[in-house]
Amino acid sequence: MNSLKIYNTLAREKQLFSPIEPGHVRMYVCGMTIYDYCHIGHGRMMMAFDVVHRWLQASGYRVTYVLNITDIDDKIIRRAVENGESISALTTRFIAFMAEDTAALGILPPTFAPRATEYVPQMLNMIGRLESNGLAYQGSDGDVNFSVRDFPGYGKLSGKSLDDLRAGERVDINTGKRDPLDFVLWKSAKETEPEDAKWPSQWGRGRPGWHIECSAMACALLGEQFDLHGGGVDLQFPHHENEIAQSEGATGKQFVNYWMHNGHIRIDNEKMSKSLGNFFLIRDVLAKYDAEVLRFFMLRAHYRSPLNYSDVHLDDARQALTRLYTALKEVTPIAIELDWDAPYPRRFADAMNDDFNTPLAMAVLFDMATDINRTRAPELAAQLLALAGTLGLLERSPQEFLQGAHGGATDDQGDTLIAEKIAARIAAKQSRDFVSADRIRDELLAAGIVLEDKPGNITEWRRA
């Protein structure tokens, strides 16, 4: 279980994972900017690193996991002003909504979920160190900027050279900057901004830039050098590149050993984003689909690969997950201690240790389900549950999943009606009224209810 290899964006290759402190992994992931509900692209990112978190724990590591919350930002300020409410009221409300979404998806809570506004002193301290090291300066407009050309390693994560970077493409042009490639560390307060978006500093009242927030929170909670840093692939440049420049410029130490980036969710082969208007909120999807189905759908693709979203793919995921639960329905698992040297667990671990290859690991689960259907072996059922559990899957009873409403809500009145129709069908069969029995079966099937006749005049049902 100690042969984990991770694709390190910094090295551009898979590397054997070795934490700085044996047995302890320190991990930081860039979380949400909180001003609206989370969409499934956010869910995919949190899911990807939830699996990393879970597998590290299953591998015997103690994990200190930091998933930050950006609660001060241009978009947040704009939305709060539009709503006529304080920034804190806006962000606190949507943090609660995010917690509901992540809980529904079975995402384990991080060790720390720091809010950027709680770490402004640490950000100011880091900016001061950068200024002392000749890497930060205050522009004519009052903003404090990072001097990109004075940091020799800039571009090592993204592979971009300074000569290739064109001003205005991804960096705002600001007349207060010495160089258009420089980025802001501290934004000078503007008269039009609300008072709760302003903090005192030696450079005047203002607020932190986005990039410095993560550097300060990561160093405060995990130390100046730690093991893993993750986020969406869109953050590789400029956000993560700037994090490296700030952190290493301030401390003189390598900031992070392993960088991980998850792929986007795509709609019709376009990146899903709010700016394109082609996004789906997690809570809207969960109104139609069971949360475990959405989790299963996301885990069928490797975390670094793009993932195409559609109802067709979710319907297929539901049918596939149904196969796993159906295999467990007729078998009562026994209590076991998982033996990682057994054939199926070994294959599963090999897949997960190969850069968290969830598609290959899930293929092992389906092989196990086929074997369980053939052998009805309780030990295999126990292994299947244990392995799936490391991915946050199969954690309910088969009946609960197979008879549950698609949106995850219970429907006791509907269940009562189904039971009544099944009883009427059994009575019709007993009186040899097969026309009525078939009609009831067809009515239920049309309503998405599949009947399964068992020996002893027993009929079970599940949702299609």
Question: What would the mean pLDDT of 16-45 be, rounded to a whole number?
Answer: 96
Closest to 304 (Cα-Cα) out of 44, 11, 106: 44
- 239 in a known ligand binding site: yes
**Secondary element (H or E) of residue 398:** helix 398-402
Bridge-based pairing of strands 307-308 and 265-267 is parallel
Count the Cβ atoms, other than its own, within 10 Å of residue 412: 7
Residue 286 buriedness (CB in 10 A; 0-12 / 13-18 / 19+): buried
- Which pair of tokens denotes residue 424? 């009427």
Bridge-based pairing of strands 183-188 and 206-208 is antiparallel
At residue 166, the pLDDT reads 57
Structure letter (DSSP) for residue 2: -
pLDDT single digits (tens) 63-89: 999 999 999 999 999 999 999 999 999
For the chain, the first-to-last Cα distance in angstroms comes to 38
Whole-angstrom distance, CA of residue 434 vs CA of residue 267: 47
Task: For residue 88, give Cα distances in angstroms to 72, 75, 386, 457.
Answer: 9, 14, 41, 61
- 30 in a known ligand binding site: yes
* Helix and strand numbers, DSSP H then E, in the chain: 15, 15
At residue 405, the pLDDT reads 67
- 274 in a known ligand binding site: yes
Classify domain 18-266 by CATH architecture. Answer: 3-Layer(aba) Sandwich (3.40)
At residue 216, the pLDDT reads 98
Dihedral sign for Cα atoms in the order 203, 205, 206, 211: positive
Segments making up each domain of the chain, as ranges: 18-266, 287-402, 412-463
- Which pair of tokens denotes residue 289? 């689909």
CB 226 within 8 A of CB 20: yes
Q: Which band of pLDDT confidence, cut at 50, 70 and 90, is reported for residue 369?
A: very high
pTM flag (> 0.85): yes
Q: What is the CATH number of domain 287-402?
A: 1.20.120.640
**Residue 52 amino acid letter:** V
Question: What would the mean pLDDT of 34-59 be, rounded to a whole number?
Answer: 97
Alpha helices in 305-375 (DSSP H): 311-329, 343-353, 358-375
Average pLDDT along the chain: 91
Peptide bond into 343 cis (omega under 30): no
| 3-state class percentages of the chain: helix first, strand second, coil last, to nearest 5 | 45, 15, 35
**Secondary element (H or E) of residue 186:** strand 183-188
Q: Which band of pLDDT confidence, cut at 50, 70 and 90, is reported for residue 109?
A: very high
pLDDT single digits (tens) 232-243: 999 999 999 999
Between 273 and 416, whose confidence is greater? 416
Whole-angstrom distance, CA of residue 240 vs CA of residue 415: 51
**Residue 114 amino acid letter:** P
pLDDT single digits (tens) 327-346: 999 898 999 999 999 999 99
Whole-angstrom distance, CA of residue 450 vs CA of residue 154: 59
Identify the three-state secondary structure at position 139. Answer: coil
pLDDT single digits (tens) 197-250: 999 999 999 999 999 999 999 999 999 999 999 999 999 999 999 999 999 999
At residue 175, the pLDDT reads 66
- Which pair of tokens denotes residue 86? 């304080």
Q: Which band of pLDDT confidence, cut at 50, 70 and 90, is reported for residue 168?
A: very low
Peptide bond into 238 cis (omega under 30): yes
Domains 18-266 and 287-402 share a fold: no
- Which pair of tokens denotes residue 25? 């992994």
